[in-house]
Amino acid sequence: MNHILQTMLERGSVRSFDPTQKLSPETLETILKAAQQSPTSISGQQYSVIVIEDEAQKDKLLEYTMSSSGLPQQHVKDCSVFLLFLIDFHKTDLVLKKEGSTMGIHHGMEGLLIGSVDVGISLGAATAAAEALGLGTVAIGAIRRSAEDIIKEFKLPQYTFPVVGLCIGYPLDNIKPAPKLRLPLSSFAHKAHYQVSDLNTLLDKYNKEISESMNAPDFKWTSFIASFYNRDYNPHLLALYEKQGFKI
């Protein structure tokens, strides 16, 4: 099997990094170039990344992500580099001003969707590149819960918004975890049209399989997901989006 395909299929999130090992400038640049070369809507490139290697800045990120999530986030501190991915229509605004025009895409949902999709694709490309180079990665969504602090700390201008982070580094003791078991492929890949008839059966089967794979008989994946998605757990974001210039 192709090496890159194999690393993608075997990817597992790393949360134990060796803090003594740093990425070389060449390795980091390769990952950043792969992330920048990812597909982007109309080639508009409405994404940016803040590269964070400074220990004091990582200390701040650790503080923000732990206080907002309530979960251990030591990997944010111990990783070699933290990439903070942004929706970036600040650049777009400059483009329109250069053309004597006025930006309007930020006045609706489409702007946020375009920016978020571009960020997600770029995050995936950075992850694949890092994994192909033998590094470990884990994505960090907790930064959205501390978005206001992060906007201030990293001096993010209007029309930008922090969406997700990515820890990259060398796994501690060179140990990479096995990939997490996913739902059956048929629940993800629907032929011809969305198939709804077997989903409940597949969920029941998956609950059993993942609890067995984790050796945790009391764990139910559906209960875990429900504990997050039974509410809007980031209700403050709408006001913060608008503060950053996005009018929804």
CATH of the domain at 100: 3.40.109.10
Is 41 domain-assigned? Answer: yes
pLDDT 10s digits, 72-97: 789 999 999 999 999 999 999 999 99
Q: Where residue 68 falls among pLDDT bands split at 50, 70, 90? A: low
Q: How many CB atoms lie within 10 A of CB 106?
A: 23
- DSSP states along 23-54: --HHHHHHHHHHHHTS--GGG---EEEEEE--
Owning domain of residue 54: 3-179+238-243
Domain annotation covers residue 204: no
Average pLDDT, the chain: 93
- Above 90 in pLDDT, residue 29? yes
137 falls within a domain = yes
Q: How far is CA 234 from the centre of its chain?
A: 16
Question: Is residue 55 one of the residues assigned to a domain?
Answer: yes
Mean pLDDT across 42-52: 97
- What percent of the chain stands above pLDDT 90? 82
Query: What pLDDT digit, counting tens, does each position of 119-136 carry?
Result: 999 999 999 999 999 999
> Kind and range of the H or E element at 88?
strand 81-88
- Number of domains making up the chain: 1
Query: Does the pLDDT value for residue 142 go beyond 80?
Result: yes
Q: For residues 46 and 91, is the Cβ–Cβ distance under 8 A?
A: yes
What is the pTM for the complete model shown?
0.94
Asked, for residue 160, whether it belongs to a domain, the answer is yes
Q: Is there a domain that residue 31 lies in?
A: yes
Per the CB < 8 A criterion, the answer to whether 69 and 102 are in contact is no
Q: Is 203 part of a structural domain of the chain?
A: no
pLDDT per position as a tens digit, 200-234: 999 999 999 999 999 999 999 999 999 989 998 88
User: Is position 189 within any domain?
Assistant: no
188 SS3 class: coil
What mean pLDDT is predicted for residues 157-180? 94
Q: Which amino acid appears at position 102 of this protein? A: T
